[in-house]
Every structure is written in structure tokens, then in C-alpha cells.
Amino acid sequence: METRQHGDHQRHKVAIIGSGNIGTDLMIKVLRNAKHLAMGAMVGIDPQSDGLARAARMGVATTHEGIEGLTRLPGFSEIRIAFDATSAGAHAEHNKILQQHGIQVIDLTPAAIGPYVVPVVNLQEHLASPNINMVTCGGQATIPMVRAVSRVAKVSYAEIVASIASKSAGPGTRANIDEFTETTAKAIVSVGGAAHGKAIIVMNPAEPPLMMRDTVFCLVDGDADEAAIRESVEEMVRAVAAYVPGYRLKQQVQFDRIAKDQAVNVPGLGKVAGLKVSIFLEVEGAAHYLPAYAGNLDIMTSAALAAAEHIAAGYAQPHSVK
């Protein structure tokens, strides 16, 4: 059973599990911006959380009894998609229960039960997957850049450094630091197209808080075409900015030639020469619920919403198949 809103336009009910910063920001995006989705439930475990209180004020069904509470809500049978914005540790149990009810899962934790998905890179390949993983904030920001380089040059090594404001890192983010670096590094390879990958996260305690900055280094073959790389990167930036408006290059793509007699030592690879590509990004949040400096959280919710919108747009309409 679905709900109809705005005339004949059909929207599909979604649940958000996790009433913290990410879950609450995502809820506001669904309510304000979604074309194919409608809020079905906000799920938390803290009855005093601001996210649950805000959801209730906005007329969204809530429960503070976690995944079990969700299954007992009167409208549970209408939920088509569930976003999990809790933790990697909790996600396995959540996914198990949701799969039993045929609900498609979008995982915003680093659990990586399903395939890694970055909307501009590989969403089309995984629209029907029962569970998709949104990698990490650093992954959503930087993997498109690695892919932009790898589609026009052979990337032997890619390293990303995600710098975020300490104030934008909640308990969930802090509890998942190891998973963040491991998940992002794996996705740099499997989604970005690099032969080897490394990820680093920096939490900056500066006051006032600094906006999210990301640096992407790629080592490519020395005969790679610099103009083609720059054009590919700029094209990809525009594609990401279509759903993350605050996503931008801070300066032009930089190139450095590394001669064989000056080869750099890359752990696991040894001495590497060629062309070093440096990409510098800034991600400003939309400030729907979180401050504008929290671009690291905004890019996760924006990517998750973009993925869910595409998934929901592809659902068969009632009576369309006879």
C-alpha cells in the first residue's frame, strides 16, 4: 500500500533508523526535497532525542524502541525503503529484520553488508540490490574524483585525506573511525578504480569550526593526458554538485611529474614514478538541520536521498504490469 501526495504523483514510504544528526538531517531533506518519497517513520532509542521530538512535531510517526518498535508501528507494512543511520555494529541486526519484510535498505554506516554505492559512479548497477552501502562521508566526497581520474588514466595508487570539523563528528562517527578508514580505502579501489587505496580522516578542533575539506592524491602513468584528467574531474564535480550543491573544487587540479630517479616510496607498492594528480575539494552543507560547516554529514544524507529517489522512481506503478 502506498500513499498518494500532490495529485496523482505517488510517493513511497521510508523509515529512518537513527534519530541523531544524520538521521534528522535526512528526514528534513525527505520532507522538503523528495519527489518520490514520503516519511513513514523515524526510529530511535533515546526517547529524549531532538530528532524524535522534531519528527513528532512534523507529523512523522516515531518510536524510541528501535527496530522492534518500528515493526510494531501501524504503518510498518507500507515502508518500502529504510535508511540506517546508526552504527556499523547495529546495522547487521537491523538489516536482517528489514530483509525479512522485503524492505530495501540504504546503509549510511560503514557496515558494508551490501555493495558500495556512490550515486554518480555506480548507482545504476545496484538499483535492485536489497542493501546498498553509502560508504562514508569521505568516500562520497572523494571517490568520484578518483573515478574521474581513473576513467581517463591508469591509477596505480590513490590516497584521500578528509578533514572535518570536530564539532560535526557525533558519537556514531567517532565510534566508527576504524571502519571509516577501512571502508573508504576499499571503495577507492572497488568503486574509484584505483589499483591501491588509502584513506585518512582528520578531526579539526578549530574554532570557529572549519568547513569539510578533502584532498585527493592519485599516482598515474607518466604519459597520462593532463588536459583530459582536468576535464574529467571538472565534469564529475558538476555531476556531484547536482545533488550536493555545496560541493566544489577549491582550486584547479594540480600536476607534478615524478621522475624515475626521484620515485616516491608507497607502502605496499614500493618505488613509484609517474604523474601525481592533486585535487582539493570543499563541501559546504545545505544547513537544513546541521550547520553549514558540517558538509561531511550533508554529503552523506544528500547521497542517500539521491540513491533512494532513483530507486523509488524505478518502482513499478500499481497495475502497470498485467
For residues 64 and 73, the answer to whether their CB atoms sit within 8 Å is: no
Q: How far apart are CA 183 and CA 68, in angstroms?
A: 28
Active-site annotation holds for 218 = no
Q: What are phi and psi of 40, to 5 degrees?
A: -105, -35
Q: How far apart are CA 188 and CA 142, in angstroms?
A: 8
Residue type, 168: S
What are 126's three cell numbers? 545496484
Q: How far apart are CA 311 and CA 291, in angstroms?
A: 28
Residue type, 321: V
**Three-state secondary-structure class, residue 204:** strand
| Catalytic position from the list 34, 52, 73, 137 | 137
Among 266, 11, 37, residue whose Cα is nearest residue 159: 266
How many alpha carbons lie under 13 Å from residue 30 in its C-beta half-sphere? 32
- CB-based contacts of 100: which residues, under 8 Å, 6+ apart? none
Tell me: cis bond preceding 245? Omega within 30 of 0 counts.
no
Sign of CA dihedral 128, 31, 285, 201: negative
Active site residues: 137
